[in-house]
Amino acid sequence: MTRTLLTEIVIPVRNEARVLAASVHRLHDYLVRNFPYPFVITIAESGSTDATPEIGAALARELPEVRLVRIEARGRGLALRQVWSTSEADVVSYMDADLSIDLDGFLPLIAPLASGHSDLSIGTRHARDSSVHRSLLRAVLSRTYNFLLRVLLGVSFSDAQCGFKAGRREIVQVLLPAVQDDKWFFDTELLCVAQRHGLRIHEVPIDCLDDPNSSVDIGRTVLEMLRGMVKVSRRRASGALNVALPEHLRRAKLPTGLAHQFLRFAVVGAATGVVHVGLFLAFRTLMPALAANALSLFLAVVLNTAMNRRITFGVRGRGGALRQQLEGGAAFLLSLVFTSGSLLAVGSGISRVAELAVLLVGDALATLFRFTLLRHWVFSPSRVRRENEELPR
């Protein structure tokens, strides 16, 4: 007998007495009529001071597919963590209590998980096919927040905070130990951990009508989001976001973060390459080409190592800074060999333009070797983490 996929829908609530009964009845009726899989609706109540717990208990008694879980501490992330970590469903999901997102998007959210095509699935308000009615302030904040995530954390998903997400339960439970936040940043951090491990995140365009009476404190939530981005950036650089995926959940992929790291490395390399060329032209009027190249390259590599330390590999603090600059000297020697060898190969008497072309070719040949050296030796996450732990508190 084939086991039928069970889906759990969590509604995290705090002081939602105004809308809870109507929303749960609406969701339950919709799923009974339109959803092809068995389901359970879990009301995850945390820290309410109104009648939310009593309403939730009454709904659980009335509807067999509804249950109430009470969490004493406050926090949307905490509620989701507690329910998802103990769930026995095949797919776990959540949506906001106001049901501001059109429920016709729920089956498209679940389908790629049921088929095994994707690992996580999220609704997005920023797709071309989405229809969203919300205040200008909320729209601007959402766009800005997701833009910062793409720039600072290199994420590829378009809407981290849409309250309409789902995941294969075995995937979610593996990722949860690497997620620290228990409030509004919880699902963003979960997505960052998933992307770091090359898991497939499916995006579903949704129709959304924001609740104008939402109790969310926008100012406080924005500050929590910004703090969350800083923390995740630091933890990613130290390797703290890594989890051990079971063999059957792994996918063939590039090393973690490779594409985004190499892009940032290339930008830094282009900037310091301009510095190298400018200094070479200045020193060339005073000394031979080989000496001008050696001096200008040395200064450019010191700058390059410092910039890559912060921008490419996200290393903060004083730990290992001197060691990293000294080992970056190996990168200097590598570049010196390539560029000086290129100059020697073409001989003297060539034009300044030809000398610059030779330097650029030599730099290009050294780039891949230098990136590998910095990634796996100079800024190895395990070495960086150990050096920061050894700093006096």
Catalytic positions, please? Answer: 187
Residue 196 burial by CB count (10 A; 0-12/13-18/19+): exposed, middle or buried?
buried
Query: Residues 276, 232: contact at Cβ < 8 Å?
Result: no
Q: Where are the beta strands (DSSP E) in the chain?
A: 7-13, 39-46, 66-71, 91-95, 120-124, 131-133, 164-168, 201-205, 207-209
Query: Residues 45, 13: contact at Cβ < 8 Å?
Result: yes
Question: φ and ψ at 202, to 5 degrees?
Answer: -90, 140
Q: How far apart are CA 7 and CA 167, in angstroms?
A: 10
* DSSP annotation string for 90-146: SEEEEE-TT--B-GGGHHHHHHHHHTTS-SEEEEESSSTT-EEE--HHHHHHHHHHH
Coil, strand or helix: which one is 183? coil
3-state helix, strand, coil in the chain (%, to 5): 60, 10, 30
Residue with tokens 């068995």: 38
- Dig out the tokens for 14 from the structure: 């705090």
Rounded to a whole number, what is the distance in angstroms from the first to the last CA of the chain?
60
Q: How far apart are CA 250 and CA 252, in angstroms?
A: 7
Coil, strand or helix: which one is 367? helix
Question: φ and ψ at 124, to 5 degrees?
Answer: -130, 135
Query: Residues 28, 63: contact at Cβ < 8 Å?
Result: yes
